[in-house]
Chains A and B, each alone.
Chain A
Amino acid sequence: MVKKRKISPASSQLQQCLTSQEIQQYCFEKISAKKRNKIFTHLNIQKCRRCIDMYHLVENSNHQDRPEFDLGVEFKLSMIEKMKNQKIDKFPCNIPLRIEKGQIWTISTEIRDINNQVVSKQETGIPVLVFFPGNKTKGLDNYIHVFPLSFDTEFQMEKESCVVKITDELSLLCEIFNEKTILARNLYEFKWIVPDKECEKILKIHEDFINEQEKKRDLQYELWKQKEVEIAELFSLPKVITTNQIRLEQIKKAADSSDFELTDYQFYPLIQMDDWSMTIVQKRDILFLQFICDKPILYSLKIDNQIRKMIEKTKGDFEMELFKINNLPQLVEISIVIKGKELIFKPHFKQN
């Protein structure tokens, strides 16, 4: 039996939890429909254990009647002194010139799109670990890949996440299952750098994770995971998923027919835009991915969750080998991040 975790899945990172004052307003005062709806959902649909307990605790009392109080001066001074003398771990105060793999940054509370427009505002921004820094700048269209980090180390799950030690007593949970592509400009403050060795270990777990089938775990964990994914989607690039079927043509061999055309290519377009396109090309018994663009565009490509690079054959014509026909998987996931969006294609292959 799975041991129950202490943290309520809906309370992850305390981010969406309510204060007792907010719950009190909900219980005894007139509030806006939006706020009421948000609190109702958190209590009754997400069923946050922590906030339900708070709901039962609140009392209807007149706050204005409560007199102000203060601590004794001596006590106050002793607390300040204690705070001063406490040994704390210091964090780096430099700002790195370039974004590098292994850096931990916080996400900005104002999320901007590729046109530098604010698309959403969050109350808090979570930390992320950069594992693919793109062109290493905070430039307009630099796409980077990150793992969100959380404080909920209780939810560590083998092969899906790992604990990153920051100081002797502070660790963060690296959510390998929750990898996201973001615009580098949405990084806010540099906080820490994970040593290379530990970074390699994380990337190895990630590699294992993408090569393995995702398993369903206990409900409490799944609820938490879903919440974390939702939080990360607030700052990651919007995704557009397209599923289609590709019926591959039979390629004749020279010996089969006298009228055989040796340059017999088949094209299966995935997307065609005004200034760029992406196509799967069948060249005899090999499948290639072709990307054509009018003028240089920054993009980032992943095939089955692995970051890949294409070779520029001629100017604006990129290509990479996907599979040999006799080694063809049933499904492939091609993800391209371009012009502020992540387009995911999931073609199913069928052979004639």
Chain B
Amino acid sequence: MGTKFIEALIKKYKGLEYDEVYYFNSILSIMKNAYKARYPHIYIGVNPNDNKAKIEKTNFSNENGTVIVEFETFASWCMDKLVAQKLEQKSYFKSFQNDNQLARYFYKAFENLLIEEIAKLTPGLSSRIKQIDKALKDHCDFDDLQGKKYFRLKKLYTVPVTKEKLFEIAATFQQPEFKYPKKKDAVNNPSIRKNDMQAYLLDIIRQCGGMVFRNDMISLIKERYGYKTLSIVSPSALRKKDGDISENNYFEDFLSVQDSGSNDFCLGQEHYSMALELHDQMDNIMKDVYYYRRVQGFKTQKTAGILVCSVGTVNNLEKAINVCISEYFVTDLGEANHLEQKNQTTPEEINAVLYLLNHLLLEERMN
């Protein structure tokens, strides 16, 4: 990896001659990558005057809160960030191992910029989203189903309600009122009491059967409180990659994830694989003991009663479970290609994998 890009930046700020086209094209490709990572389901049409693209742009200004900025707008923001907001100058005051590192630095800044700028387009909504997450944090599991985040009442296993049904049910509830600041010159947005919001949301979720998609819930709140997108930047040159993309895919933008407030772990694919492997290594009776003792938190005696066995048997099985877990993480059991993965697992990661195992067993029982 070379340093041509770094050199161009340094020359620019030292007032020396540099390859402007190369420099701009490098910056442009970073912008494109940051944009594509945020909006992977759409692409930029080559011809902005394409009639088809023009027709399709109406699809993007939907009411569910999706704000998709056109690439040219994003590119202008990035240019502004680079020069007026001194991102380039800041980079000048750093040393980078190679061009890739400088590109990575810009990339992260552009990612942040896109999120921040889109948030500004619907003022007030991000606070409401944070409130939804906080209000439901202690009462609901927050996970995802086929890539779509949902709220589900704790320890309840059911299917999510449709968006239409959610709106229909919610229509029967009166939403809590805004509290306006008493001071005339207050700068804060109107607020809603957390307890009122919590009760309102939980009532709706219960009425819906216990599970709703998070984006649908945000759409509902946006609609009920009349949050307006100030300036919908319509994607003139954008169109769908393929025709059949669900509404939720479009909605899956920054708005739905601002400060989830969840205390859950942020886990990777490997953690899920490890939990599954561990699950498969236990026999049925071990799983039973694990479930009653660790997931349900029952005492040994109660567990023995449920499983119709002696306390000593439960104790022995618990020891076997401990051995199974510790061997899984520290020895060379299991597939060879997982050896390296497991041996470098930290105690915190082990906890996270066990947390997943709990969920797996719980889900298994509920189904």
Contacts and interface: CB of A to CB of B under 8 A. Distances in A.
Interface stretch (B54-62, B89-97, B202-210, B301-309): B89-97
A60 interface: yes
Interface in A31-68: 31-34, 36-37, 39-41, 43-45, 49-50, 52-61, 63, 65-67
Contacts of A166: 89, 93
A86 B101 contact: no
Interface stretch (B192-200, B263-271, B311-319): B263-271
Interface in B231-276: 241, 249, 252-254, 256-260, 265-271
A127 B349 contact: no
B79 A40 contact: no
A249 interface: no
B134 to A, nearest CB: 14
Contacts of B108: 14, 17, 19
Interface residues on B, range: 35 or more
Contacts of A122: 97
Contacts of B44: 69-71
Given A59-B40, A124-B101, A93 B72 contact: no
Contacts of A54: 111
Nearest to B341: A33
A69 B254 contact: no
Nearest to A86: B83
Q: Among the interface residues A60, A88, A166, which one has the most CB atoms of the partner chain B within 10 A? A: A88
Nearest to A44: B265
A33 B21 CA distance: 40
A214 interface: no
Given A34-B344, A44-B348, A169-B86, A49 B96 contact: no
A75 B74 CA distance: 13
A28 B269 CA distance: 5
B246 to A, nearest CB: 12
A27 B269 contact: yes
Contacts of A58: 37
A142 B115 CA distance: 45
Interface stretch (A102-110, A263-271, A305-313, A318-326): A102-110
Given A69-B43, A91-B92, A104-B93, A27 B268 contact: yes
A53 B21 contact: no
Interface stretch (A77-85, A176-184, A275-283, A327-335): A77-85
Contact of A67 (B43, B104, B107): B43
A261 interface: no
B45 interface: yes
B346 A80 contact: no
Interface string B220-236: 00000000000000000
A71 B92 contact: no
B326 interface: no
A59 B15 contact: no
Nearest to B44: A69
A191 interface: yes
Given A71-B75, A124-B97, A56 B257 contact: yes
A169 B87 CA distance: 11
B24 A167 contact: no
A63 B40 contact: yes
Given A106-B94, A107-B95, A125-B94, A40 B352 contact: yes
A93 B11 CA distance: 9
Nearest to B85: A169
Contact of A19 (B107, B268, B349): B107
A103 to B, nearest CB: 13
A218 interface: no
B70 to A, nearest CB: 11
A127 to B, nearest CB: 5
Per CB-CB distance, the 8 closest pairs between chain A and chain B, nearest first, are A125-B95, A69-B44, A56-B257, A33-B344, A93-B14, A106-B95, A43-B266, A26-B268
29 contacts: A20-B38, A33-B344, A37-B345, A39-B268, A40-B267, A40-B268, A40-B271, A41-B348, A43-B266, A50-B112, A53-B115, A54-B111, A56-B256, A57-B115, A57-B253, A57-B254, A65-B241, A66-B43, A69-B46, A70-B46, A71-B28, A76-B28, A79-B75, A80-B24, A88-B13, A91-B14, A108-B95, A126-B94, A191-B93
Given A59-B40, A127-B94, 9 more contacts: A36-B271, A37-B345, A37-B346, A72-B48, A75-B72, A83-B83, A90-B14, A106-B95, A124-B95
Interface of B: 10, 12-16, 20-21, 24, 28, 32-34, 36-38, 40-41, 43-46, 48, 71-72, 75, 79, 83-84, 86, 88-90, 92-97, 101, 104-105, 107-109, 111-112, 115, 147, 149, 241, 249, 252-254, 256-260, 265-271, 340-346, 348-349, 352
